[in-house]
Amino acid sequence: MAIPGAEDGGHALVFGPVVDGCLVRIHSRCLYGDALRSDDCDCGPELDLSMDLIQDAGCGVLVYLEQEGRGAGLIDKARGLRTSEVFGLDTFDSYERLGLCVDTRSYEHTARALLHLGLRSVRLLTNNPDKVRALTELGIAVTVVPLVTRPRSERARRYLEAKRRRRGHTLPAEDETWSALGRSVRRFSSRRFAPGCWWRRLLAL
């Protein structure tokens, strides 16, 4: 299913019989975190946990968007990470130092795709209020399911703190809180998909 807006396009993987109230994860591509397993961010752990939760539920939708580096692209993302390393800045300050917009992503096309699937209410796996806002503005009722993943490095902890402070993400403010919240999702941390291809269809966004 092609949807206008290539800069925020991607694919939707539909798992099982999708019905109102199912789990939905909207995930922006992160080569470093998703594929190379970088410890600098929470992208890989969030994707892993989302897939585990959807499998445990038996149905859901994973929307995987081509929005590397909060929409800046892989090259500018790499420049931002290097600037952060050299000057001790968070990635938001690094983007501003490089003259980049800190976040150019839009989720409107994703919301329309979910409507096209017949969804009018979802349980959204997210800490990002922008994703919630995009869906609710188009009439989709959203129940937020926070994604709690323990930071795997000090740099990841600082990145999560920057997202909480700069972008309003619903993340714990103290390390002790991570431990308390993490217990509720720890049972999924060692699981991966069962053998075989159990996703039902793949849609192009």
- Burial code (b: 16+ CB inside 10 Å, e: under 16) for 38-70 equals bebbbbbbbbbbbbbbbbeeebbbbbbbebbbb
For the annotated catalytic residues, the residue numbers are: 103, 105
Asked whether 125 and 27 are in contact (CB, 8 A), the reply is: no
How far apart are alpha carbons 13 and 85 in whole angstroms?
35
| 3-class DSSP assignment, residue 81 | helix
Q: Which two tokens stand for residue 156?
A: 């990841």
